[in-house]
Amino acid sequence: MYCKSYSVGNNFVLACCDEEILGKNLVDEKYDVTITEAFYKGEKTSEEELAALLADANNINLFGERSVGVALKEGLITERDVIRIGGVPHAVIVRM
């Protein structure tokens, strides 16, 4: 997995995707999304490292089975919070 973090004001924004979908264009009847290196390619990250990053982030954007799976395991989201774009799981978490 790749994770890239951003600071926006007082917010910690985290973008993570599974390695194999980086650079891919995901298309279905509602969405057309490109998993760009510019936004997602930061550090290679383990599941344990991602879990720690998720605990601190205010705004989280996840793409892929493993990335979304960590958020599910950590109890931050449920299956109802996950959509699929081109068959790939996607979740967004925003903490106020």
Give pLDDT < 50 ranges for the chain.
Answer: none
Candidates 16, 39, 38; CA nearest to 88 is 16
Domains within the chain, CATH numbers bracketed: 2-94 (3.30.1860.10)
Kindly tell me the sign of the dihedral angle through the C-alpha atoms of 78, 66, 93, 89.
negative
pTM: 0.93
Summarize pLDDT for 66-84 with one digit per residue, the tens: 999 999 999 999 999 999 9
Model pLDDT, residue 8? 84
Phi, psi of 42 (to 5 degrees): -115, -125
One-letter amino acid of 23: G
Q: Which tokens sit at 90?
A: 């996607």
Model pLDDT, residue 12? 93
Instruction: Quote the CA–CA distance of 89 and 41 in Å, as a whole number.
Output: 18
